[in-house]
């Protein structure tokens, strides 16, 4: 069976980093791990061709070649996903769709003519789909009554990727998270019992990437890498000697809950296994809001102390923040900005709260008649999709002001530098790791020169830029490459904060115009 795997386009977003990618000569941040896992699960007698629309377009030869077209994506990719289903149907192809978007909103995918809905987790539903297709069944909806054992998942087909196009690679060790944050769709899709691969299995994936020549960063896309601390420690204990033997060929990063700060052994193991950064869902420094959203794990210790402990252990912190929780008091935006400044977090992803389909938040708001439509978007450029408890215009204004301040070039550079000074202190007392030399990359030289030109000459950051670079050379020489990589992110954020401002202001104006004419208002829609 000739299968064309299509990964839909992402809109410009916080994570799309177009300007930064342009600097380093890459086309996308991360590859479609889901689709290359799909290719590994389907019968290996089938032929696969992968088109990631974020790095290339689909040619007529690709369409002609395909006997079946398979798509997968997240809600944020839905516009392009639906368009590609229609393109495939126009050409008379059989179309199968799976992944988080199709699982959450299958009726939208069905409405554009997809033949097969391969929902939930593919380890269970893909074999059912393959069997139906081979038997000639014209359509079908495949669901999994239970969660699969991921220790049986095969190594993703990394060989299908155009490796040069990606800035980072992705692998996955676990699925699911034990917590119960009200807005989270992860626990709806993957459950609250974290399921992990075996250490040997993950190391075999890293070995496959190593053998393909991959030497850049790898992101473990786990929902919460430390959801099962026992198993993650077993993995790390096996990973450290593998990394040492290979000369630490790639830095790792991941997502974790903030209770990581309470486990020094775990943080030390992560650093020893070459983890350099971790993304934390901090959401807000307002404890009342954390309680309202059932993010109790973030209320147990002072959040800023936890962040400091993690950075001081040698892990760069990236973090997510949300505004718009029920009962939130005015000034929440400012409090987030102050918290980010205090904790020195350079990359702070900032969003207005959205109710995602099927989450506990969605169901509560639906019951309260507060949803403003059936769609959801997890982008930073969309107004909230429900009626909040304080005026939407107030939340939106605080959000815009906060976004603007967070990505002010001078503030961003200052924060990044302060962050790397703490990291420098953390590494001062650690034993030096024997690292294999990295392959020379002209793109990095070019990127360095462009950053020096823009941030060190053209912009008003010029004095700080050179002062900080000199201090980095004196106090944290080993961290300079990573520091400059984070400095480069401002190239994206400067453009993106403009996009956020224009789009939110436009939607806000439309919202206020509607509000002024309540008889035209179409507020509450129930599913």
Footprint of ligand SF4 (CB under 6 A)? 177, 179, 181, 184, 186-187, 223-224, 257, 281
CA distances from 242 to 199, 235, 248 (A): 11, 11, 8
Q: How far is CA 430 from CA 268, 271, 275, 419, in A?
A: 10, 10, 14, 18
Residue 300: CB minimum distance to ligand SF4, A: 13
State the Cα–Cα distance between residues 137 and 151, nearest whole angstrom. 30
> How many Å apart are CA 228 and CA 387, to the nearest integer?
36
- What's the min distance (Å) between Cβ of 324 and ligand SF4? 15
Residues 461, 413 contacting (CB under 8 angstroms): yes
Nearer to ligand SF4, 40 or 322 (CB): 322
Strands (E), 53-194: 68-72, 94-98, 116-118, 140-142, 169-171, 174-175
The neighbouring-strand residues paired with 5 are: 50, 70
∠ CA 5-358-103, rounded to 5° = 20
How many CB atoms neighbour CB 188 within 10 A?
18
Q: Which is nearer to ligand SF4, 167 or 354 (CB)?
A: 354
Comparing CB distances to ligand SF4, the nearer of 181 and 406 is 181
Q: Which is nearer to ligand SF4, 115 or 185 (CB)?
A: 185
- Using the minimum distance from each CB to ligand SF4, give the nearer residue, 315 or 472: 315
- CB burial class (10 A; 0-12, 13-18, 19+) of residue 361? buried
Least Cα distance to 409 among 299, 525, 493 occurs for 493
SS3 511: helix
Nearer to ligand SF4, 257 or 274 (CB): 257
| In the complex, minimum distance from the CB of residue 236 to ligand SF4, in angstroms, rounded to a whole number | 20
**How many angstroms separate the CA atoms of 423 and 400, rounded?**
30
Min dist CB 322 to ligand SF4, Å, is 10
Least distance to ligand SF4, CB of residue 164, Å: 32
How far apart CA 175 and CA 228 sit, in angstroms, is 10
Length of the chain: 527
In the complex, the smallest distance separating the C-beta of residue 257 from ligand SF4, rounded to whole angstroms, is: 5
DSSP character at residue 166: B
Using the minimum distance from each CB to ligand SF4, give the nearer residue, 76 or 181.
181
Rank residues 173 and 468 by Cβ distance to ligand SF4 and give the closer one.
Answer: 173
Structure tokens at 150: 């991921």
Least separation in angstroms between CB 294 and ligand SF4: 8
Nearer to ligand SF4, 52 or 328 (CB): 328
Q: How many other CB atoms are found less than 10 A from the CB of residue 9? A: 18
- Smallest separation (angstroms) from ligand SF4 to the CB of 174: 11
Cα separation, 229 vs 267, in Å, equals: 11
In the block, which residue shows the tokens 């530098």? 417
| Residues whose CB falls within 8 Å of the CB of residue 192, separated by 6 or more in sequence, listed in order | 176, 177, 178, 179, 180
For the record, the structure tokens of 361 come out as 């938040």
Residue with smaller CB distance to ligand SF4, 52 or 121: 121
**Which CB atom, from 48 or from 362, has the smaller least distance to ligand SF4?**
362
CA distances from 64 to 1, 43, 92 (A): 13, 21, 10
**Closest approach of Cβ 331 to ligand SF4, in Å?**
24
Q: What are the beta bridge partners of residue 323?
A: 352
Query: Phi, psi (5° rounding) for residue 282?
Result: -85, -35
- The nearest distance, CB 223 to ligand SF4, in angstroms, is 4
Phi and psi at 346, nearest 5°, equal -70, -50
CB 177 to ligand SF4: min, Å: 3
Minimal distance, residue 30 CB to ligand SF4, in Å: 18
Which lies closer to ligand SF4 via its Cβ, residue 196 or residue 257? 257
Give me the least distance between CB of 172 and ligand SF4, in Å please.
13
- Partnered with residue 252 across adjacent β-strands are 218, 275
Residue with tokens 């069997």: 131
Indicate the residue among 21 and 360 with the shorter CB distance to ligand SF4: 360
């Amino acid at each position: 069976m000739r299968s064309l795997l299509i990964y839909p386009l992402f809109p410009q977003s916080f994570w799309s980093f177009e300007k930064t990618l342009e600097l380093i000569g890459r086309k996308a941040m991360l590859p479609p791990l889901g689709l290359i896992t799909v290719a590994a699960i389907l019968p290996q007698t089938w032929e696969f061709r992968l088109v990631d629309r974020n790095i290339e377009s689909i040619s007529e030869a690709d369409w002609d070649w395909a006997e079946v077209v398979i798509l997968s994506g997240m809600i944020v990719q839905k516009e392009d996903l639906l368009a590609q289903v229609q393109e495939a149907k126009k050409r008379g192809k059989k179309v199968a769709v799976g992944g988080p978007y199709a699982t959450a909103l299958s009726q939208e995918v069905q409405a554009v003519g997809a033949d097969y809905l391969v929902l939930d987790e593919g380890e269970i539903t893909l074999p059912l789909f393959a069997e139906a297709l081979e038997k000639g069944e014209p359509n079908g909806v495949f669901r999994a009554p239970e969660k699969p054992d991921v220790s049986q998942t095969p190594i993703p087909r990394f060989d299908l990727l155009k490796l040069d196009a990606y800035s980072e690679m992705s692998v996955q060790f676990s699925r699911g998270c034990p917590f119960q944050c009200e807005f989270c769709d992860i626990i709806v899709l993957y459950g609250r019992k974290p399921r992990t691969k075996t250490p040997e299995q993950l190391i075999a994936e890293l070995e496959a990437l190593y053998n393909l020549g991959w030497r850049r960063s790898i992101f473990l896309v786990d929902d919460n890498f430390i959801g099962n601390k026992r198993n993650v420690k077993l993995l790390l204990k096996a990973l450290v000697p593998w990394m040492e033997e290979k000369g630490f060929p790639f830095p790792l990063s991941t997502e974790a809950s903030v209770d990581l700060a309470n486990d020094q052994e775990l943080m030390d193991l992560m650093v020893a296994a070459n983890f350099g950064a971790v993304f934390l869902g901090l959401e807000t420094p307002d404890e009342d809001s954390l309680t309202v959203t059932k993010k109790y794990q973030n209320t147990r210790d002072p959040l800023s102390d936890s962040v400091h402990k993690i950075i001081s252990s040698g892990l760069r912190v990236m973090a997510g923040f949300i505004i718009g929780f029920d009962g939130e008091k005015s000034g929440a935006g400012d409090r987030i900005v102050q918290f980010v400044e205090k904790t020195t977090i350079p990359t702070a992803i900032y969003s207005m709260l959205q109710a995602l389909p099927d989450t506990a938040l969605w169901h509560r708001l639906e019951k309260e008649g507060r949803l403003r439509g059936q769609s959801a978007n997890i982008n930073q450029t969309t107004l909230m999709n429900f009626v909040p408890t304080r005026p939407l215009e107030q939340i939106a204004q605080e959000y815009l002001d906060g976004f603007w301040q967070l990505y002010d070039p001078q503030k961003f550079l200052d924060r990044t530098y302060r962050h790397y000074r703490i990291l420098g202190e953390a590494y001062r007392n650690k034993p030096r790791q024997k690292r294999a030399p990295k392959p020379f990359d002209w793109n990095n030289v070019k990127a360095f020169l462009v950053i020096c030109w823009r941030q060190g000459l053209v912009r008003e950051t010029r004095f700080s830029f050179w002062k900080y670079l000199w201090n980095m050379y004196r106090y944290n020489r080993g961290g300079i490459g990573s520091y400059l990589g984070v400095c480069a992110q401002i190239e994206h954020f400067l453009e993106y904060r403009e996009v956020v401002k224009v789009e939110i202001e436009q939607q806000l104006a439309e919202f206020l115009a509607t509000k002024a004419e309540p008889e035209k208002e179409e507020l509450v829609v129930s599913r």
